[in-house]
Amino acid sequence: MAFILAIDQGTSSSRSIIYDKNANPIAMAQMVFTQYYPHPGWVEHDAEEIWQAQVTVCRQALAQAQLTAKDIAGIGITNQRETTVIWHRKTGKPIYNAIVWQDRRTADSCTQLKDAGLEPMITAKTGLLIDAYFSATKIQWLLNHVEGAREQAERGELAFGTIDSWLVWNLSLGELHITDVSNASRTLLYNIDTLMWDADLLALFNIPASLLPTVKSSCEIYGHTHNEAIGSGIAIAAIAGDQQAALFGQLCIEAGMTKCTYGTGSFLMMNTGSTRVVSTNGLLTTIAWQIGDTVNYALEGSVFIGGALIQWLRDGLSLFAQASDSEALAGSVADNGGIYFVPALTGLGAPHWDANARGAIFGITRGTTAAHITRAALESICFQVDELLQVLSADSGTPILQLRIDGGAAANNLMVQFQADLSAVEIIRSTHLETTALGAAYLAGMAVGLWTVDELKNNWRIDRSFQGILPAQDSILLKQQWLKAVGRSKNWLTENKTG
C-alpha cells in the first residue's frame, strides 16, 4: 500500500489524483458538475451530484493506475470551503441544494449583524469578518427556509457539513461526521483560540450544536472507508480546506512564506506560524492546519472572481472556445487599450468587502475589441491579487519578496508576467500546478507514515520564475486607474435601488 488517493472537490469540478510513494502523480481524473443560479447572486450545487462525480473520478483514477482499494494507503480530502450542506442523518439525503461559498443570499442578514455592532466580537473569536461568504448565515437560511428543517435540527435528526464532511460521511457510510480545523475555522462558528465550536456564536445564529461535526486535526487516521463504490478499508487520513491544502502543497511551512492559488477565485495566504496575526486591512485570520497538537495560523485574502471571469467570457459572451485560448487572444494586443474590468460579479472580497458592488467594464471606445476586454479581464485578476499583497505585507509587517503560485490560471504566462510587473515580486511557479490535491496527499501520506516533512521539502521543484520588468511609474499609473474603476463599481445595488 504505497499509494495515496487525493480527493480534490473544487467549486466547478470533482478531481481525483493518485500519488506514488515518491509523491508523484500517476493518475488523474476530473469531471465538471452543474452550477445552479436560481436567482441573481445565488449559487447552488447538488450535493448528491458532487458525491456521484467524486465516485466516478476516483474509480477512473484507480482504473487508470491499474490499482484497487487494497493498494491505497490513505485518502486525503481537500475541498471548496464554506459551501454548506445539511442532510438527514437516517437517510443521508440533503434537505436542499448545497449553498456555495460564492452565494450572496444572506448579505442583508450580514449587514444587520454589522449594524448591530457584532463584528468585533465575532472577529475576536473567529478571525473572520461578517460576510455571506461564510457558512453560519447559510446554515441559518436553510433552517429558516426549508420546511420542517429547524424542528428536525432541534430533534438532532439533521447533520451540517462543509463539503469535506459530506464526502467523509458518504465514504464511511455515515460512521464519521467530522471536519478538520481548517474548514471549521471558515464557518463563523468556531473559536480559533479555544479550538472549539463557540456557544455564544451558536446562540447568536440560532444553530443547534447537534448539527455540527466533530472537529479533528488535518493529519490523522480518522477511520476507514466502508463504501464499496470506491472500495472499503482505505484509511481516511487527511482533511484540509482547499487554500490551506495548497499552502501545504507549496510547502509554505515556515512563517512568512506566501502562496496564491489562481482558481475559480484567487486566494492569497501567508503562513504566520503559531502566531495569530490580527489584520487591520480586511484580511482574514484563519487556521492553516493542525498536525498533532501543533496549530499553524495564516492570514488570507480572497478574490471571489478570478478564473471564473475567464469562464464567463467563454460561456457568457462566447469570446473564445477554451479558457486556455484567452492568453493568445489577450496577447494579440499590446495593452488593455484603456479598458479596466472590475469583476465584482458576486461582490468584492478583501480588502473592500462590498457585497453590493457589481461587475463593470470601464474605458470602452469604438476601438475596443474582444482582445482588449479579455486582456483587461486577465489583468483584473492581477490587480486584485496586488491589492491583497499590499495589505498582507502591511498586516504582517513583512515585505513579500517571493510568491509561490498554483492553480489552473497560473499556467497563463501573460497573466503571471503582468502580476510580477504590477507587484514587483519574484513569482515562483512550481512544477505541480495542482498543489491543492498535492497538499491533501502530502498530509495523508504523513498520517500513514509514507513520508516526512523533510522528505517532502526535497520533492518540491520550480517550473519557472517570473521577475517584474515594468517601470515603477507605469505600474503606479495602472493601479491608480484600477482603483478609480473599483470606486465606481462599489455599492452599485444600493445606488441602483435608491435611484
The CB-side HSE value for 20 (13 A sphere, CA atoms) comes to: 8
pLDDT for 43: 94
Please tell me the chain's helix, strand, coil percentages from 3-state DSSP, rounded to the nearest 5: 35, 25, 40
Q: Is residue 248 part of a domain?
A: no
Q: How far is CA 353 from CA 130, 283, 348, 490, in A?
A: 9, 10, 5, 10
> How far is the first Cα of the chain from the last one, in angstroms, to the nearest whole number?
65
- pTM for the full predicted model: 0.88
Does residue 174 belong to any structural domain of this protein? yes
Can you tell me which residue has the cell 427556509?
Answer: 145
Q: Give a three-class secondary structure readout of 14-47.
A: EEEEEECCCCCEEEEEEEECCCECCCCCCCEECH
**Sign of the Cα pseudo-torsion (409, 410, 415, 418, in order):** positive
DSSP letter (8 states) at residue 278 = P
Here the cell at position 386 is: 496586488
Q: How many helices (H) and strands (E) does the chain have?
A: 17, 23
Pairwise pLDDT comparison (265 vs 158), residue with the higher score:
158
In this structure, is residue 494 part of a structural domain? no
pLDDT at 159: 98
Domain that holds residue 76: 3-243
Alpha-carbon torsion angle 250, 251, 256, 258, nearest 10? 0
Model confidence pLDDT, tens digit, residues 4-51 = 999 999 988 999 999 999 899 999 999 999 999 999 889 999 999 999
The reply to whether 176 falls in a domain is yes
Least Cα distance to 120 among 130, 131, 107, 110 occurs for 130
Q: Is residue 497 in some structural domain? A: no
Averaged over 393-402, what is the pLDDT? 87
Is position 63 within any domain? yes
Average pLDDT over residues 95-117: 94
pLDDT of residue 333: 95
Percent of the chain scored above 90 by pLDDT? 78
The total of structural domains in the chain comes to 1
Does residue 377 lie in a domain region?
no
Residues in the chain: 499
Per-residue pLDDT band at 496 (split at 50, 70, 90):
very low
- Check which CATH number belongs to the domain holding 233 and give it: 3.30.420.40
Tell me the average pLDDT across 125-133: 92
- Determine, yes or no, domain membership for 185: yes
